[in-house]
A and B are shown apart, each in its own frame.
Chain A
């Protein structure tokens, strides 16, 4: 069956450290992979997109990698801040009109 797996346990890190979140998928062949941020009681907000032929993408303090052989994406936040505390969602775009989401990983950054 098709699955998207993100760490269900919350990630707790100290301010200034790099947070690394993992997204693994099975039985998909995504053309694109997206990452969203969701704050409590709010809708998800788009952060980054990476294509299947791209290994790495950066935007300010964010970095995403995409390994189609391992079927895995890593999402890094460098120099993390308490304001980065949120739930981060991985989403696969498999073609057509459907975007499939993982359950998300909650990140807590302590000051």
Chain B
């Protein structure tokens, strides 16, 4: 049982380049989330999805887009990367939202924008 899988694990981009981070979960979870983690700032929610075909903005959505075409996948896109987007990105999923919805995290994707 793989849980939540993120690809790629590491990526270096130049300013202005685009890329997509892929998150896949095999737990049949309805809810999926993208967070970024920066030193001293904790995890901040970028976008989330409450089901296939739906997406919503989180706390820091600017510069990112997402898609949830299949229930098991949640893609995070950077159209024009900026150095401020250098961070570690975590995908998470949960069976239930809020309440007892513990989050299951992937191992993270470390992105550096030069």
* Stretch of A11-19, A55-63, A71-79, A99-107 contacting B (4+ beta carbons < 8 Å): A99-107
Range, interface on chain A? 20 to 34
Q: Does B41 make an interface contact (CB < 8 A)?
A: yes
Interface residues of B in 26-51 (CB under 8 A from A): 31, 33, 35, 40-45, 48, 50
Range, interface on chain B? 20 to 34
Number of A-B contacts (CB under 8 A): 68
Q: Does B1 make an interface contact (CB < 8 A)?
A: no
A95 with B98: CB separation less than 8 A: yes
Give Cα distance in the complex from A34 to B108, angstroms: 20
Give Cα distance in the complex from A8 to B56, angstroms: 31
A46 with B103: CB separation less than 8 A: yes
Q: Closest CB-CB distance, B108 to chain A, in whole Å?
A: 6
The interface residues of chain A lying within 8 Å CB-to-CB of B105 are 43-45
Q: Closest CB-CB distance, A25 to chain B, in whole Å?
A: 12
A97 with B42: CB separation less than 8 A: no
Interface string of A85-101 (1 = CB under 8 A from B): 00001010111111111
The interface residues of chain B lying within 8 Å CB-to-CB of A91 are 103
> Which of B41, B50, B92, B108 touches A42 (beta carbons < 8 Å)?
B108
Indicate whether A103 sits within 8 Å of B31 (C-beta atoms), given known contacts A32-B99, A43-B105, A97-B50.
Answer: no
B104 with A46: CB separation less than 8 A: yes
Q: Closest residue of chain B to A8, judged by CB?
A: B40
Indicate whether A4 sits within 8 Å of B108 (C-beta atoms), given known contacts A49-B100, A97-B50.
Answer: no
14 CB < 8 A contacts A-B: A32-B99, A34-B102, A42-B108, A43-B4, A43-B90, A46-B103, A91-B103, A97-B31, A97-B98, A98-B98, A99-B101, A99-B103, A101-B35, A104-B42
Given contacts A34-B103, A100-B59, 11 further A-B contacts (CB under 8 A): A32-B99, A32-B100, A43-B108, A44-B103, A89-B42, A96-B97, A97-B48, A98-B45, A99-B45, A99-B98, A103-B41
9 nearest interchain CB pairs?
A43-B105, A46-B102, A103-B42, A101-B43, A97-B97, A101-B42, A93-B98, A44-B105, A43-B107
